[in-house]
């Protein structure tokens, strides 16, 4: 039976911890001077990206290469996808080439779940629509553990566009399973209905979400949301919902600042916070490679 990583919704706390422990070990490889292990020797990893991506795609590609896998990338522009090929047909083509791990990003929620039913390869969800981005949440959790020592009992504030965010959903699933308390804050127009049912607190402001937080995570605001009328202006957004030094004072004095990237400076977070000493944003990027190495390694060895 093959194993996939479609979302943290499907994983138990033990499975998540197993990935995080493995990732912690992998991080030593990422930080070492000789980045080559035989973990995925002879395996083929294909990155199938239907949406633009810099860090996630490169992170998966490097993770595969550090473990000696054959790695290939397909992006939707310049491929058969741009010629109108369906996901099903593309999947069967890739499957027929002997792929072991298929990493997919897609703008439609549930696309990797569909793909998983069609291919023999293990499917890793690299972000599907507004649904999940499990490796992002895993790398966020790994970063939190490195800085705070544990997840259980942490207060994590996530602020920004929760409505369109797959990052927030995966983080809520993962963090609540490991015993953290999650608060989400943002403008009411960017909060999806029923989010509280996922086990977090939801506020239509930022300060209540941030109070006493150990971790403050900004979520990317897609600037085209403003054109759709979901908030009036960037200026007003930052004034009421952006996080700067003053607002961060509501959090614990040693709170860390996170962001999944790419960041809009002066929108979700002030530039001084992004570049300040409480920012762990670049650590997140490093953790990303380690988490993806762990996920692919474990999938090739029978799952989590």
Q: State the minimum distance, in angstroms, from the CB of residue 259 to other proteins.
A: 20
- Tell me phi and psi for residue 247, to 5 degrees: -70, -35
Q: State the minimum distance, in angstroms, from the CB of residue 87 to other proteins.
A: 6
Sheet containing strand 122-128, edge to edge, reads 70-75, 44-49, 101-106, 122-128
- Could you say whether residue 108 binds other proteins (CB under 8 A)? yes
Q: Convert residues 152-191 into a mask of x (bound to other proteins by CB under 8 A) and - (unbound).
A: --------------x--x----------------------
Contact segment (CB under 8 A) with other proteins among 17-25, 75-83, 108-116, 153-161 equals 108-116
Task: Tell the burial category of 28 from Cβ atoms under 10 Å away from its Cβ (0-12, 13-18, 19+).
Answer: exposed
- Which residues share a beta bridge with 183? 157, 201
- Could you say whether residue 219 binds other proteins (CB under 8 A)? no
Q: How far apart are the first and last CA of the chain?
A: 13
- Could you say whether residue 201 binds other proteins (CB under 8 A)? no
Q: State the minimum distance, in angstroms, from the CB of residue 269 to other proteins.
A: 24
- Could you say whether residue 110 binds other proteins (CB under 8 A)? yes
Contact present, 135 and 15 (Cβ < 8 Å): no
- Could you say whether residue 38 binds other proteins (CB under 8 A)? no
Cα distance between residue 116 and residue 120, in whole Å: 8
Pick from 99, 105, 59: which is nearest to 292 by CA? Answer: 59
Contact segment (CB under 8 A) with other proteins among 129-137, 152-160, 203-211, 296-304 equals 129-137
Nearer to other proteins, 132 or 268 (CB): 132
Nearer to other proteins, 132 or 181 (CB): 132
Sequence-distant (≥ 6) Cβ neighbours of residue 68 within 8 angstroms: 36, 37, 38, 39, 40, 41
Contact segment (CB under 8 A) with other proteins among 21-29, 67-75, 84-92, 295-303 equals 84-92
Cα distance between residue 11 and residue 34, in whole Å: 32
- Could you say whether residue 131 binds other proteins (CB under 8 A)? yes
Nearer to other proteins, 9 or 207 (CB): 9
Binding site for other proteins (CB under 8 A): 9, 86-88, 106-111, 113-114, 128-132, 166, 169, 192-195, 197-198
């Amino acid at each position: 039976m093959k194993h996939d990583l479609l979302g943290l919704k499907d994983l138990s706390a033990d499975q998540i911890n197993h990935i995080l422990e493995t990732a912690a070990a992998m991080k030593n490889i990422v930080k070492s001077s000789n980045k080559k292990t035989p973990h995925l020797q002879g395996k083929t990893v294909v990155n199938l990206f239907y949406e633009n991506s810099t860090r996630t795609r490169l992170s998966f590609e490097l993770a595969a290469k550090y473990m000696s896998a054959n790695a290939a990338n397909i992006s939707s522009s310049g491929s058969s996808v741009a010629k109108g090929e369906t996901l099903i047909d593309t999947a069967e083509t890739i499957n027929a080439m002997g792929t072991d791990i298929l990493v997919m990003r897609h703008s439609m929620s549930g696309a990797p779940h569909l793909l998983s039913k069609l291919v023999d390869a293990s499917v890793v969800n690299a972000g599907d629509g507004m649904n999940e981005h499990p490796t992002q949440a895993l790398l966020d959790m790994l970063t939190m553990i490195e800085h705070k020592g544990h997840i259980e009992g942490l207060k994590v504030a996530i602020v920004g566009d929760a409505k369109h965010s797959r990052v927030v959903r995966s983080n809520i699933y993962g963090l609540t399973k490991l015993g953290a308390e999650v608060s989400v804050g943002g403008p009411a127009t960017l909060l999806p209905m029923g989010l509280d049912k996922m086990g977090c607190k939801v506020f239509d402001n930022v300060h209540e979400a941030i109070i006493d937080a150990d971790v403050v995570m900004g979520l990317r605001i897609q600037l085209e949301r403003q054109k759709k009328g979901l908030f009036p202006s960037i200026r007003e957004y930052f004034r009421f919902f952006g996080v700067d030094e003053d607002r961060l004072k509501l959090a614990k004095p040693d709170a860390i600042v996170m962001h999944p990237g790419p960041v809009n400076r002066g929108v979700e977070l002030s530039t001084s916070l992004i570049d300040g000493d409480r920012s762990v944003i670049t650590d997140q990027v490093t953790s990303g490679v380690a988490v993806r190495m762990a996920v692919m390694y474990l999938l090739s060895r029978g799952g989590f």
